[in-house]
Amino acid sequence: MMKDITDIFHRLRNGQTVSFQDPEAYKLRAASFATKKLLNTMNNSADPSEIRVLLREITGSEIDESVAVFTPLYINYGKHTKIGKNVFINFDCVFLDLGGITIEDNVQIAPKVSLLSEGHPLNPKERSSLMVGHILIKKNAWIGANATILPGVTIGENAVVAAGAVVSKDVPDNTIVGGVPAKIIKGIE
């Protein structure tokens, strides 16, 4: 069955800004509560296999057996998150994924990392809208503890994001970034 192009989730995944006055805005909250129910079970499990099964259900996509998630993990929707093979996600991470989050193979994500593919317009008259931007974390990247990745950012292959960094711009392959806002510190040989 083909998805209706007016579906709010489809529009968000395609990068459209959506007002909370949108006739389908109620679906966002309903989907978040459905995800939260699954997260409650997942976050109370210590069984890696059960965690992967529940994460599969939350994301609606395959989660390879090489993926390790130390719960708790918090996701507001889930269906716009794709996780590659041999990915490690440490404790207390937050994924706001309505704009889409793709985590490629061999990525390491430290504790308390926030991947925020959603935000709000700066204009106060439009602030009750949701703006999105797909986050892409390429192969073999390492995201340090308490780092925040903002909407629309790509983290390059083999890149390192230092602990506590706030990343608002793309990170080139084979570089280390750090700070607020994150800036290139040096290249990786």
3-state class (DSSP) for residue 35: helix
- Do the beta carbons of residue 153 and residue 133 sit within 8 Å? yes
Length of the chain: 189
Nearest to 170 by CA among 131, 141, 130, 127: 141
- Give the DSSP letter of residue 92: T
Q: Which of 10, 80, 120, 134 is catalytic?
A: 120
- Do the beta carbons of residue 75 and residue 81 sit within 8 Å? yes
Is 80 part of the annotated catalytic residue set?
no
Contacts with 125 (C-beta within 8 Å, 6 or more apart), sequence order: none
Strands 142-143 and 118-119: unpaired
Question: Residue 171 and residue 161: Cα distance in Å, rounded?
Answer: 9
Catalytic sites, residue numbers: 120
